Amino acid sequence: MALAGVVVAGCGGGAREGGQGPGAGPHPQAARSGRVSVVYETGTVGPQERQVVALIRKSRVLERTADWVNRALTLPHDMVVKVTADVPRGVTDAVTQPDGRTIYVPPSFLAEIEKAFADVVKTVERPAPLAASQYNTDELTVLSTEFIFGHEMGHALQRQFLLANLGLEEDAADGFASFYTVNEVGPGPSLAAAVLFDEIARKEGRPTLEGMSSDHPVTQQRAYNFLCYLYGSDPEKYRRSLVDSGYLPKTRAPLCPQSWAMLDYGWWTQLQPHFSSAFKAEGDGKQKKAHARLVAETRELAKRIDEIRSSQ
């Protein structure tokens, strides 16, 4: 399946840069705030892709993420999101340029996502965590696109702000997708992305050398990471639908509340120096709350760690 190579190999650290300079460094520029804009270059869209592009445009999931960044953060440079077939050489998937100023979303990539879900809804019984109203090709395509775009926005913010990573950039970008969608949208994007990545992993078969050596985590592992962060954000709410139903293994679930707390606090802290003046009070409050939760979840994990280890 073409999408398998697209999602696993993508995100484009190696894509050509397009002639723009690097990000502004760890401190935001005071002179102006860059803006995120979304552009649909409809003249480049082929007939077979027009329906899915219209679906994404009508849903406004790209604009919703862009609006949050514009409201919450002070970017050092403008950022343009281009839904276009006119992409740099070698680009087949959603990709972020190295300077973080341009994100490309090829219509063919959206069509591959749509095709994958058309197969899924015909062949896979609806997972319990997804509402019946969400288990159709259009809704799953929209929700997973919002998550995947969150991943690309994570890349763009890391590159514009030159954020310090403690691991692979791809892990951090996945983390931003979870951080943003769980906090601002709800469970739908994480669940749809997990279904998509599970389908990709199933069609990939056994991991290859290329897959194991990629800068991206193994596809199936990413699906479980999405579910872990979602569950960890509210264990009481999601225990029955994710853990008791068997979608998130019971060996992983006990670690997820602390994992989510660390991710949530980490992104709020990384972004804090770049909060807009209008968002600063709200953002500072969220960062402080996230810190308190991380302390509490770490203490709780310390109490249970021997029990968890002995049960695995």
Per-domain residue ranges for the chain? 2-310
What is the per-residue pLDDT for 1? 40
Mean predicted lDDT score pLDDT of the chain: 88
C-alpha to C-alpha distance for 68 and 123, rounded to whole angstroms: 36
What is the per-residue pLDDT for 306? 74
What is the per-residue pLDDT for 202? 79
pLDDT in tens, 189-248: 999 999 999 888 676 667 666 755 555 566 778 999 999 999 999 999 999 999 999 999
Answer yes or no: are the C-beta atoms of 7 and 49 closer than 8 Å.
no
- Asked if residue 5 has pLDDT above 80, the reply is no
pLDDT in tens, 63-115: 999 999 999 999 999 999 999 999 999 999 999 999 999 999 999 999 999 99
What is the per-residue pLDDT for 2? 44
pTM of the model: 0.87
Mean pLDDT across the stretch 251-279?
A: 97
HEC readout, the chain? CHHHHHHHHCECCCCCCCCCCCCCCCCCCCCCCECEEEEECHHHCCHHHHHHHHHHHHHCHHHHHHHHHHHHECECCCEEEEECCCCCCCCCCCEECCCCCEEEECHHHHHHHHHHHHHHHHHCCCCCCCCHHHCCHHHHHHHHHHHHHHHHHHHHHHHHHCCCCCCCHHHHHHHHHHHHHHHHCCCHHHHHHHHHHHHHHHHHCCCCHHHHCCCCCCHHHHHHHHHHHHHHHCHHHHHHHHHHCCCCCCCCHHHHHHHHHHHHHHHHHHHHHHECCCCHHHHHHHHHHHHHHHHHHHHHHHHHHHHHHHCC
